[in-house]
Amino acid sequence: MACQGLSREYMGMRFSAPLDPGFLPAVLFNREYAARAKASGQAEQLVIGIEREGGLVSRHEARVLPGGSPETLRYVERLVKTLIWARGGWRIHIGGPAEIGTHIRAAYAPGGARAFDADLMSKVYERPVEVVACATGDVPAAREMAQDVGGHLDGCRIGFDLGASDYKVAAVREGEVVFSEEFPWNPRAEADPAYHYGHINKGLKAAAAHLPRVDAIGGSSAGVIVGNKIMVASLVRSVPPEKFEMAKTMFLRLREEWGVPLVVANDGDVTALAGAMSLEEDGVLGVAMGSSEAAGFIDRQGHILGWLNELAFAPVDFNPEAPSEEWSGDRGVGALYFSQQAVNKLLPAAGIELPATVGLPERLKEVQALMAKGDPSATKIYETIGVYLGYTVAHYADFYDFQHMLILGRVTTGEGGNIILGRAREVLEGEFPDLVARVALHLPDEKSRRVGQAVAAASLPEIGR
């Protein structure tokens, strides 16, 4: 769908992405639309309520132009998509103009444009997704949870962090790392969950060999983890339905085998926890650029809110010709802008040719090797991701209240990470000076980038509970 006049030139976009001149930042589109609606003097109220487990509800209010134009429908559809993946939920309340509710209901129906999202949410929350079109006053009141998380470093602990190309383990004794290692694996291609279980257990045993005993185990994993169970995760995407229960309960079985407290959290939340622990401050949004984009959030009171924070599927680019993400089929979502997939996407524009048989981790290594040699083509890849990041920090700030943003993951390793952060800061200073005073961007040191999440994960469980 065209953006109906909201072009980069119209919005006064000051920074272009060197290898992606079509990039249309979500934050500029949204803010320009909101300004138009306000200036019209005819804007109507829109209230969106996203309901998840236990009657928890996140609300978002906006103003929309009357008439249900294509521009308005796109604005709202992208807004709902962002809220669904940022907050999570199975029931979507659309309080406002009837034509908007009808449009969103059709999008999330079987065969609709957002059928993938509806299917994934139904698996996460184990009930069908519903769209309720209603009056603004009928949208339920906000009801959020807040719970303390992690930060326990007493005793002898093991932490693990599961990625798509490797998994990391760390042995931690009274807060000191006594062992850390990375192990290669290829979980996404394996149909037998015994493969996943066996590899993780191998890493745990390697770490345990460096401790006098094991008091607790904590884990960080890509995907949606609820109650130590894997609800949805690309790491087990090849496991067939008849074997998925074994994959789903894998961490529960590991806890039984080891006989100690074991807690596993989404890797994004552990990223945010690692940031809060290293900075000794709260209000942290963590973004890990690995095989995909992982995100997590610790609020200003040091709590997690039970939000989904799966920003890999949240749109950041409103260019109608943006590339499609392979799993969801949607265009312009975060996974293609902040991950190994982003690097791969930019290779042709950078003029870097690699054989089709080379996997994503190896493609990233090739770019990092070129970067170490000062190759200008590799530099442009990192500069492009930096422009993406600068605009997207401002976009995320419209949905999260954070004072620190921690950027880490394999894509940020080496000088490329500094280029990404430097370019992002230029965009923030040039486009969003008010945000610069409120939000600090951080790259952890090299050691923390590689094993920091495993150490933070080790702090998740309380000993004796």
Tally of CB atoms within 10 A around 9: 6
Among the candidates 138, 156, 188, a domain finishes at 138
CATH of the domain at 239: 3.30.420.40
Residue in 59, 46, 84 with CA at minimum distance from that of residue 141 = 59
The pLDDT value given to residue 1: 36
> Residue 119 and residue 386: Cα distance in Å, rounded?
32
Instruction: Check: CB of residue 125 under 8 Å from CB of residue 90.
Output: yes
> Residue 459 and residue 217: Cα distance in Å, rounded?
8
Residue type, 74: R
* Residue with the two structure tokens 């995909």: 292
Mean pLDDT per 10-residue interval, the chain, length 465 residues: 51 90 96 94 97 94 94 97 96 97 97 96 93 97 84 93 89 93 93 96 98 96 85 89 95 97 88 82 90 89 87 96 92 96 97 94 95 96 98 98 90 94 97 94 66 81 82
Among the candidates 138, 165, 191, a domain finishes at 138
Q: Is residue 13 part of a domain?
A: no
Tally of CB atoms within 10 A around 102: 15
The pLDDT value given to residue 279: 82
Query: Is 437 found in the same domain as 322?
Result: yes
* pTM listed for this prediction: 0.85
Instruction: Check: CB of residue 311 under 8 Å from CB of residue 288.
Output: no
Residue in 96, 77, 150, 37 with CA at minimum distance from that of residue 314 = 77
Instruction: Check: CB of residue 320 under 8 Å from CB of residue 71.
Output: no
The pLDDT value given to residue 10: 58
Q: Is residue 462 part of a domain?
A: no
Query: 228: phi > 0 → left, psi -120 to 50 → alpha, else beta; which?
Result: left
Torsion sign, CA atoms 442, 445, 446, 451: negative
Q: Which residues pair with 219 in a beta bridge?
A: 160, 264
* Interhelix angle 98-107/70-87, nearest 10 degrees: 60
The pLDDT value given to residue 148: 73
Q: Is residue 459 part of a domain?
A: no
Query: Is 221 found in the same domain as 121?
Result: no
Q: Is residue 24 part of a domain?
A: no
Q: Number of structural domains, the chain? A: 3
Q: Is residue 30 part of a domain?
A: no
Query: Is 293 found in the same domain as 263?
Result: no
Note down the domain range covering 346.
Answer: 270-454
* Interhelix angle 340-350/376-397, nearest 10 degrees: 130
Query: Is 229 found in the same domain as 377?
Result: no
Letter string b/e over residues 258-267, b meaning 16 or more CB atoms within 10 A of that residue's CB: bebbbbbbbb
Question: How do strand 404-408 and strand 440-442 relate by DSSP bridges?
Answer: parallel
The size of the chain, in residues, is: 465
Query: Is 287 found in the same domain as 262?
Result: no
Query: Is 300 found in the same domain as 429?
Result: yes
Q: Is residue 3 part of a domain?
A: no
Query: Is 406 found in the same domain as 305?
Result: yes
> Residue 263 and residue 461: Cα distance in Å, rounded?
6
Among the candidates 138, 161, 196, a domain finishes at 138
Hey, what's the torsion of the CAs at 426, 427, 428, 430, to 10 degrees?
Answer: 80
Residue in 418, 415, 402, 409 with CA at minimum distance from that of residue 448 = 409
As given in the structure block, the two tokens for residue 223 are 């995907």
The pLDDT value given to residue 291: 84
Instruction: Check: CB of residue 140 under 8 Å from CB of residue 57.
Output: yes
Query: Is 190 found in the same domain as 123?
Result: no
The pLDDT value given to residue 451: 44
| DSSP structure string for 360-410 | HHHHHHHHHHHHHTT-HHHHHHHHHHHHHHHHHHHHHHTT---SEEEEESG
Query: Is 250 found in the same domain as 151?
Result: yes
Q: Is residue 15 part of a domain?
A: no
Query: Is 240 found in the same domain as 281?
Result: no
Query: Is 91 found in the same domain as 181?
Result: no
Q: Is residue 464 part of a domain?
A: no
Query: Is 201 found in the same domain as 119?
Result: no
Kindly tell me the burial class for residue 209, based on how many C-beta atoms sit within 10 Å of its own C-beta (0-12, 13-18, 19 or more).
exposed
CA angle 40, 44, 47 (to 5 degrees): 135
